[in-house]
Structure 1
Amino acid sequence: MTVVALHHARVRYGPLEALHGVTLAAPGPALTVLLGRNGSGRSTALRALAGTVPLSGGAVLWDGVDVTRLPAHERARRGLCLVPDRRAVFGSLTVRENLALAARECGPALDAYPRLRPLLDRRAGTLSGGEQRMLAVSRALLARARVVLIDEPAQGMAPEVAARTYELLAALDACVVLAEQRMPPALRGRRAFVYELLRGRVVFGGEAGEFERRGARGPRPVGGPGGAGV
């Protein structure tokens, strides 16, 4: 089992603090979903796990080892893959070249997303938003990473392609962490861990079924004012 975690993590952007002592843990192989509106801190939590933003307090743990000071490229070498919500593909490279950066054999990606096959020689920057998301996710599928962090994986995709995307991610033998504004319909009823963030704090942490049963009762604090969510 692989577990990545934030422990009382704080992140600042200049004078503004985006994460206020967030604690959460994502085990794998399994799905963990970070939910929250824009400005909630969900994307920042992903970046903190990946090492693309520094912590101003707290720690990042990977299988119980403190990797807070480990740079992003070293985390990538150890098997972590981050797919940000923007600039997730190399726009000046073709679809084929983008896939080749992840693996020599791109067949599995094309099987996952057949719509990419006729686009192999197109520059990625000319693709539609949904097509770029397919390419970004397919690169993550090819990477065979131990930890996969994806910010809004189905953004811009048609509903049937989005549903397929969540099936592919749920089937990965990896710790998969998704950042979403709301619970994707395709994940309802699946076994997953859910953390809901509000203004940089965790206000819910538990199984997806518990989150769904909670319904419209409104957020409840988890772990006191520090926002601990484990």
Structure 2
Amino acid sequence: MTIALRHARVRYGPLEALHGVTLVAPGPGLTVLLGRNGSGRTTALRALAGAVALSGGTVVWDGTDVTRLPAYERARRGLCLVPERRAVFGSLTVRENLELAAADLAPALDAYPSLEPLLPRRAGTLSGGEQRMLALSRVLLARARVVLVDEPAQGMSPAVAARTYTLLSGLDACVVLAEQRLPPGLRARAVRTTYVHELRRGAVVFSGEAAELTHETAAARTTSGPRTENRPNPSG
């Protein structure tokens, strides 16, 4: 399972947020879209999900062009987007939020035991970190084929954040994260390779393995134009 952008362009009114971006996220495995605020990483994530329309280029999922497929159809086919904000139904209880994904809540509560005493509470009253745990536990219950998450560990303690990245990296899915910086522990994983696409001002300036990021990014930042590598292959 693979999802990719090919020469993708996105406009917000007169401003172009993505300038012909090509990137691929192979699965099962973890891909990180890296960049500062305004780099285009969140827009790229939303473009993969169908939450924003492309003004040019394509979205390809397992070799099929899904550019014109609306977001709800992508969701029906197994794509799950967890946005940075409003990722839970605030007026529903924690239990009701989880039951929208599955009847058996055990996998979610095993992943985040601290949610169990919160089951009767309304999701909108939870802290930011608790809401992230709830949103991500719904992903675990849904068994999605493609998981797109914008800043998954926002508001979490370091220990819970580390557990979150372990859970995400172990999913049998194509997992794409949008992050401002590479999370600790993802640079060199023994079981699966973590891929990184770094974006700056709506363009990809680095594509490769997380373990190479330090050296390759330094080289890219000393050049005048974007630098990309030939792996992984977007046509894959």
Partner letter of residue 69 of structure 2?
L
- Kindly provide the CA deviation profile for residues 8-33 of structure 1, in whole angstroms up to 9, marking residues without a partner as x: 00000111100000000101001000
- 1:136 alignment partner in structure 2: 135
Q: Separation in 2 of the partners of 1:139 and 1:213?
A: 37
Distance in 1 of aligned mates of 2:160 and 2:108: 13
Alignment of 1:114-153 (within 5 A): 114-153=113-152
In 2, Cα distance between equivalents of 1:82 and 1:217: 33
- 5 Å-filtered alignment, 1:177-188, equals 177-188=176-187
Query: What is the distance in 2 between the residues matched to 1:187 and 1:130?
Result: 20
Counterpart residue number, 2:227 = 222
Give me the whole-angstrom Cα distance separating, in 2, the residues matched to 1:107 and 1:223. Answer: 42
Aligned to 1:193: 195
Corresponding pairs, count: 225
- Measure the CA separation in 1 of the matches of 2:196 and 2:7: 18
Could you say if the C-alpha distance between residues 101 and 196 of structure 1 is closer, same or farther in structure 2, counting changes exceeding 3 Å? same
Query: Which residue in the other structure is 2:213 paired with?
Result: 211
CA offset digits 1:34-89 (Å, max 9, x no partner)? 00000000000010000010000000000111100000000000000000000000
Contact 2:39/2:199 (<8 A) preserved: yes
Normalising by structure 1, we get a TM-score of: 0.94
Q: Which amino acid aligns with 1:40?
A: S
Check the 8 A contact 2:206/2:217 in 1, yes or no.
no
State the AA in 2 paired with 1:196.
E
Q: In the alignment, does 2:85 pair up with 1:86? A: yes
Q: What code does the residue aligned with 1:160 have?
A: A
Deviations 1:140-191 (A, max 9, x none): 1111011000000000000000000000000000000000000001312122
- SS for the counterpart of 1:102 is coil
Match in the other structure for 1:167: 166
TM-aligned CA deviation for residue 106 of structure 1: 0.8
CA distance in 1: counterparts of 2:124 and 2:33, whole angstroms: 28
Report the aligned-residue RMSD. Answer: 1.5
For structure 2, the 5+ residue unaligned runs are none
**1:51 matched to which residue of 2?**
50
Q: Distance in 2 between the 1:218 and 1:36 partners?
A: 14
Q: Once the two structures are aligned, what percentage of the paired residues are identical?
A: 76
What TM-score comes out, normalization by structure 2 length? 0.92
Query: What secondary structure sits across from 1:93 in the alignment?
Result: coil
Letter in 2 for 1:16: L
CA deviation after TM superposition for structure 1 residue 222, in Å: 2.6
Q: Residue in 2 aligned with 1:202?
A: 204
How many angstroms apart in 2 are the aligned matches of 1:91 and 1:104? 19
